[in-house]
Amino acid sequence: MLKLVNTAVDESRQGEAYSVNAIVFSDNTKRFFIESYGCAMNFSDSEIIASILQGEGYAPTPHEEEADLIFLNTCSIREKAELTVRKRLTEFRKLKRSRPSMLIGILGCMAERLKSKLLEEEKLVDIVVGPDAYRSLPSLITEAESGTKAVNVLLSREETYADISPVRLNSNGISAFVSIMRGCNNMCTFCVVPFTRGRERSRDVSSILSECQALFQQGFKEVTLLGQNVDSYYWVDPTTNHPVDFAMLLERVASIDPLLRVRFSTSHPKDITDKVLYTMNAFDNICKYIHLPLQSGSSRVLQLMNRTYTREWYLAKVKRIKEIMPDCAISADIIAGFCTETDQDHRDTIDVMQRSEYEFSYMFIYSERPGTLAAKRYTDDIPDDVKKKRLAEIVSIQNNLSLESNKKDIGKIVEVIIEGDSKRSNQQWMGRNSQNKVTVFDKVDDENIHIGSYVHVLVKSCTQGTLLGTIVDLPLTKK
Ligand code: SAH
Ligand code: SF4
Ligand code: F3S
């Protein structure tokens, strides 16, 4: 018997947990429960892990109580993300007492950062596996079953899991993540990712295209191409010797079908090129939305962060995006209270926010991470209350910007793919427009309009986070 359990994913909330939906088998198949924390890349990795485990005969379960294997795919980006995992482990301690045969594994960035130290610190953990070592999971599980603690945290220069077909977890059947590269070669001084994910490497273009094609054939309507720095995607085709850069990859994915929407994340302001912008502009199905992390609006702080651009460079990039695509939405990541940040630096950040008119932002308090260049070189000298005050100000500025941006959409007709019921009411659907804005509208009784349909919505009002409207015409060309 198969049962399908569905829960929603919010791809943007880095450092927070996603639980998993899954097929539940009623026979005595061994079951795994996987909970993912952190960024979309981690979530996407959990789908690769699920595929590896299914290949070994394990079935996913959304119920931790009935799992033989419990995996936490962890994030180290801020201290809070690690604390959440530690807290979760104390909950599993109780479960393990009642089922001693159950194995607990820590996967992902925290596994990589702490390595076997995790086994000393967290006695109930049986398995520790870093992001490049998931192929060794089956042998590590066997090892752990025999009572030995199992660890593999080797980073690789080649691993992209290109040949593994991810098992879609928590999927709405409409949009899917597709990893196009792994690792990061930038050395932003605050960031733990280069240490937990290793060197940057791009995935074989043909495997990306076949994954996207297969998704489209299965009924998916949207793919999000994932990498820490997608603009530095680079792959040399071994048969033709022709290089493929990110703009070319985008063009090839967008050419699969005009009904397949394409998104991508994340762009680094230093690397996004005019060629990428022109490619976005040339294809209706490439969404007009760029996540362009700012981090700070002060050139002095940006230099300390080793972001390799200045505020002027960043603002020129924003201007260029708007010149080529006036309707393109832009969002940012912003860090409040980095080492030595003055009130003036903070005001510079707010100034760039206002000039860039971000549609959204993900905003964080600086959290010193052991082993990073900032931890080695600088003192984390901004008092907590100052950090919090600055963050609150940044959040309030962003709230205003988001509301202003949404107000400008009132009266416009936007194209949306229906993703499911709105959070508030099962009488309403929700979806996102090209600019990634959540749009909510009343359901209509028409057999041609269902989850996965493209619809046109006339925006009638808005909140700071949502456009509210009504469907104005039947989906004409796009069903
Ligand atoms: N590769 C992406 C982002 C990766 S991490 C990029 O280059 O932009 C996501 C976001 O977490 C970062 O953009 C940054 O804003 C935030 N972040 C990273 N390290 C942090 C730290 N030590 N403290 C607070 N926020 C951090
Ligand atoms: Fe971290 Fe910078 Fe790499 Fe992004 S680009 S993952 S912030 S080091
Ligand atoms: Fe976290 Fe690792 Fe992603 S540190 S944000 S899960 S790359």
Give me the residue spans of the domains in the chain.
3-152, 175-405, 413-471
Give distance in angstroms: CA of 184 to centre of ligand 2: 6
Token pair recorded at residue 329? 């939405």
Atom of ligand 2 nearest to the CA of 228: 6
With a threshold of 0.75, does the pTM exceed it? Answer: yes
Extended beta strands in 89-148, E state: 103-108, 127-129
Identify the CATH number of the domain defined by range 175-405: 3.80.30.20
Residue 446 region, left (φ>0) first, then alpha (ψ -120 to 50), else beta?
beta
Atom of ligand 2 nearest to the CA of 268: 5
456 lines ligand 1 (CB under 6 A): no
Atom of ligand 2 nearest to the CA of 333: 7
From first to last of its 479 residues, the chain has per-residue pLDDT tens of 222 222 333 333 344 444 444 444 456 789 999 999 999 999 999 999 999 999 999 999 999 999 999 999 999 999 999 999 999 999 998 898 888 899 999 999 999 999 999 999 988 899 999 999 999 999 999 999 999 999 999 999 999 999 999 999 888 899 999 999 999 999 999 999 999 999 999 999 999 999 999 999 999 999 999 999 999 999 998 888 999 999 999 999 999 999 999 999 999 999 999 999 999 999 999 999 999 999 999 999 999 999 999 999 999 999 999 999 999 999 999 999 999 999 999 999 999 999 999 999 999 999 999 999 999 999 999 999 999 999 999 999 999 999 999 999 999 999 999 999 999 999 999 999 999 999 999 999 999 899 999 999 999 999 999 999 999 975 555 54
CA distance 365 to 79: 11
Please report the DSSP string for 167-188 in residue order: ---S--SSEEEEE-EE------
16 lines ligand 1 (CB under 6 A): no
Contact of 18 with 170, CB cutoff 8 Å:
yes
333 lines ligand 1 (CB under 6 A): yes
- Domain 3-152 is of which CATH architecture? 3-Layer(aba) Sandwich (3.40)
Q: Ligand 1, atom 10: nearest CA belongs to which residue?
A: 333
Give distance in angstroms: CA of 83 to centre of ligand 1: 17
Q: Are strands 360-365 and 261-265 parallel, antiparallel or unpaired?
A: unpaired
Third-level CATH fold of 413-471:
OB fold (Dihydrolipoamide Acetyltransferase, E2P) (2.40.50)
Domain 175-405 and domain 413-471, same fold? Reply is no
Contacts of 388 (CB under 8 A, 6+ apart): 365
Residue 370 region, left (φ>0) first, then alpha (ψ -120 to 50), else beta?
beta
Which ligand sits closest to the CA of 79? 1
Which ligand sits closest to the CA of 226? 1
